[in-house]
Amino acid sequence: MTTVRQAVFDLLRSLGMTTVFGNPGSTELGFLDRWPTDFRYVLGLQEASVIGMADGYARATGRAAFVNLHSAAGLGHALGNVFTAYRNQAPMVITAGQQARALLPNLPFLGASEAAAFPRPYVKYSIEPARAEDVPAAIAHAWHVAMRKPWGPTFVSVPADDWRASCWPVPARVVAQDVAPDPALIAEAARAVAAARRPVVVVGPEVDQEGAGEAMVRLAERIGAPVLTSPFSSRLSFPEDHPLFAGFLTAAPQAVSEALAGHDLVLVVGAPVFTFHVPGDAAIFRSGTPIIHLTTDGEAAASAPAGTSILGSLRLSLPALAERLPEASGRVPPPPRRRPPPPAPAHPIPAEFLLHRLHRAMPEDAILVEEAPSHRPAMQAQVPMRRWGSFFTMASGGLGYALPAAVGIALAKPERRVVCLIGDGSMMYSPQALWTAVQHRLPLAVVVVNNGGYGAMRSFSQVLQTRDVPGVDLPGLDFVSLARGMGCPGARVTRAEELDDALAAAMRSTGPALVEAVVDAAVPTLYARS
């Protein structure tokens, strides 16, 4: 036999989970005692930042991250980014300390009355083991569930005195992660796609997540149809310089219906059907247009209001569908997508100009992590993404994701420049992550788009026809001082002619660097009115 602590460390080694993201407390000291030299502990200064870093690391590596939080209050701080990790399908095993078992009947300090219930429903599996000796097996179970598609976070609550208990080691196991699609449904889908005269393909984040990007490109080229990115796609869905790429769907039912109205078949790959943010007339679901849906996500399949959903790993589904299609469809390729002309400099700096210059400054293999939702249409126009694994954002609306996620991605990919594009409002949700980036000297450029407020709220006020909404202006923030207080150099740019030098310096920095760009506060248009 061995101890629970030793069994857990041996298990983590066998699973390749030797990087631990955490924020420690007294109930975790039994786990942290005599920290092994072959493990890396990544300290975050607030639990939401810890989860965001683990999320970015997990999504960049394709492997579940291990997280150690502090008791109930610490998990409570983290829940916003736990929700985001669930929506992002980011695999991770979250552990949190619990008060000693002997004290639990007496409502002790730091005790969680219903620890396993606390993070539900935004974890795939949650448990506080009934016995100390069950802790290693519970963590193994949590890892396998986190890595079962669709990926996601899991949770294990560990009482403080469990780590020294005796237990049997947990052997490493192999559990299949891929599920093959129904061959009959794939054959039926192939017949429908081949017969369509004006098909369209809508692609989402599961493609990049599964490493199925090249298979997706081959399928699209076999079909010869225009390709659109699904609403709120949290990763690169299709190379945005490809001749078949036709643009982005917005999260409004009427706008989606109008974009798809001219087509006689819609093939949706790796995305829900569809993610909406505002109400409206979803005429596409009443039109009778066939919708064929390929996904790994059973919940997305169950919630689709129309069409045929085929469950299966995309790395198996996409080649299977392509093999059943004819070599040449004879379809006329879509016309080249119109690109906006380069924006002109002005004062104050237009957001479009900032994003155009950022695109020119970024290295070819840079990874962009974005949380500037009011500027997303401008980013999509000015910063075309081309490489798989080069773009990440959040699938949820919870703010405070991008900066810690960028830190986690930089820890996972230290050989590449990571660029965090973040709004001024978003930046204030998890600024603590900058400190971690400084401690690890990560190649991270943080570009804060400062438009003096919550730009998305300003835009929604127009969409929803509301007026005089309080709490949307953010005067008096100094992001350069904030960064310098954590050891990160920064520069504030207020004029267009200063921009190129500041961005170039941030891209050359051997550690993290911040650029605060003060931009025009003009209200962007996020969605067509529904």
- For 250-292, give the DSSP string: -S-HHHHHHHHTT-SEEEEESS-S---SS----GGGTS---EE
Residue 237 and residue 203 in contact, taking contact as beta carbons nearer than 8 Å: yes
* Least confident residue range of 104-108, 115-119, 124-128: 104-108
Host H or E run for residue 402: helix 402-412
Q: Can 26 be counted among the known catalytic residues?
A: yes
The SS3 call for residue 467 is coil
Predicted local distance difference test score (pLDDT) of residue 302: 96
Q: Can 206 be counted among the known catalytic residues?
A: no
Token digits of residue 295: 């996904």
| The one catalytic residue among 28, 128, 240, 352 | 28
In whole angstroms, what is the distance from residue 528 CA to residue 12 CA?
Answer: 49
Residue 100 and residue 126 in contact, taking contact as beta carbons nearer than 8 Å: no
In whole angstroms, what is the distance from residue 136 CA to residue 7 CA?
Answer: 6
Write out pLDDT tens, residues 239-248.
999 999 999 9
pLDDT at position 527 over 70: no
Give the position of tokens 């990571």.
Answer: 418
| The one catalytic residue among 70, 263, 375, 440 | 70
Provide the whole-model pTM: 0.94
Residue 441 and residue 489 in contact, taking contact as beta carbons nearer than 8 Å: no
Within 10 angstroms of residue 430's Cβ, the number of other Cβ atoms is: 29
Predicted local distance difference test score (pLDDT) of residue 460: 52
Sort strands 308-311 and 291-295 into parallel, antiparallel or unpaired: parallel
Residue 205 and residue 237 in contact, taking contact as beta carbons nearer than 8 Å: yes
Write out pLDDT tens, residues 259-317.
999 999 999 999 999 999 888 999 999 999 999 999 999 999 999 999 999 999 999 99
pLDDT at position 528 over 50: no
Predicted local distance difference test score (pLDDT) of residue 337: 84
pLDDT band, very low/low/confident/very high, at 530 (cuts 50, 70, 90): very low
Q: Can 70 be counted among the known catalytic residues?
A: yes
pLDDT band, very low/low/confident/very high, at 111 (cuts 50, 70, 90): confident
| Farthest CA pair distance, the chain | 74
Within 10 angstroms of residue 15's Cβ, the number of other Cβ atoms is: 19
Residue 417 and residue 404 in contact, taking contact as beta carbons nearer than 8 Å: no
Write out pLDDT tens, residues 416-435.
999 999 999 999 999 999 99
Q: Cα dihedral sign for 471, 472, 475, 478?
A: positive
* Least confident residue range of 144-148, 451-455, 490-494: 451-455
pLDDT at position 354 over 70: yes
What's the whole-number mean pLDDT along residues 462-472?
Answer: 65
Predicted local distance difference test score (pLDDT) of residue 329: 67
Predicted local distance difference test score (pLDDT) of residue 123: 98
In whole angstroms, what is the distance from residue 329 CA to residue 269 CA?
Answer: 19
> Looking at this protein, which amino acid is placed at residue 246?
A
Predicted local distance difference test score (pLDDT) of residue 328: 66
Residue 208 and residue 233 in contact, taking contact as beta carbons nearer than 8 Å: no
Write out pLDDT tens, residues 38-75.
999 999 999 999 999 999 999 999 999 999 999 888 99
In whole angstroms, what is the distance from residue 299 CA to residue 99 CA?
Answer: 35
| The one catalytic residue among 22, 47, 157, 455 | 47
> Looking at this protein, which amino acid is placed at residue 496?
A
Q: Can 25 be counted among the known catalytic residues?
A: yes
Map out the domains of the chain with their CATH numbers. 2-165 (3.40.50.970), 183-323 (3.40.50.1220), 351-518 (3.40.50.970)
pLDDT at position 218 over 70: yes
Backbone angles phi, psi at 381, to 5 degrees: -80, -35
Sort strands 166-167 and 2-3 into parallel, antiparallel or unpaired: antiparallel
Backbone angles phi, psi at 265, to 5 degrees: -160, 140
The SS3 call for residue 374 is helix
Token digits of residue 51: 């989860």
Q: Can 375 be counted among the known catalytic residues?
A: no
Q: What is the DSSP letter of 309?
A: E
| The one catalytic residue among 26, 166, 303, 481 | 26
Compute the mean pLDDT over every residue in the chain, rounded to the nearest whole number.
Answer: 93
pLDDT at position 86 over 70: yes
Query: In the chain, what percentage of residues exceed pLDDT 70?
Result: 94
Measured between alpha carbons, how far apart are the two ends of the chain, in Å?
64
- DSSP assignment of 130-179 equals SSGGGHHHHHHHHHHHHTSSSP-EEEEEEEGGGTTSEE------------
Using alpha carbons only, how large is the chain's radius of gyration in Å?
24
| The one catalytic residue among 277, 293, 356, 440 | 277
Write out pLDDT tens, residues 150-162.
999 999 999 999 9
Token digits of residue 514: 């911040």
Angle in degrees, CA 187, 191, 194, rounded to 5: 130
What's the whole-number mean pLDDT along residues 378-404?
Answer: 93
In whole angstroms, what is the distance from residue 233 CA to residue 236 CA?
Answer: 7
Host H or E run for residue 439: helix 433-439
| 3-state per-residue secondary structure call for 175-231 | CCCCCCCCHHHHHHHHHHHHHCCCEEEEECCHHHHCCCHHHHHHHHHHHCCCEEECC
What's the whole-number mean pLDDT along residues 200-210?
Answer: 98
Backbone angles phi, psi at 354, to 5 degrees: -55, -45
In whole angstroms, what is the distance from residue 353 CA to residue 519 CA?
Answer: 9
pLDDT at position 529 over 60: no
pLDDT band, very low/low/confident/very high, at 396 (cuts 50, 70, 90): confident
pLDDT band, very low/low/confident/very high, at 525 (cuts 50, 70, 90): low
Predicted local distance difference test score (pLDDT) of residue 106: 87
Within 10 angstroms of residue 166's Cβ, the number of other Cβ atoms is: 11
| The one catalytic residue among 22, 25, 97, 152 | 25
Distances (CA, A) of 39 to 36, 287, 406, 475, 501: 6, 56, 21, 43, 39
Angle in degrees, CA 432, 434, 439, rounded to 5: 110
Query: In the chain, what percentage of residues exceed pLDDT 90?
Result: 84
| Closest C-alpha to 503, from 368, 402, 358 | 358
| The one catalytic residue among 16, 211, 298, 397 | 397
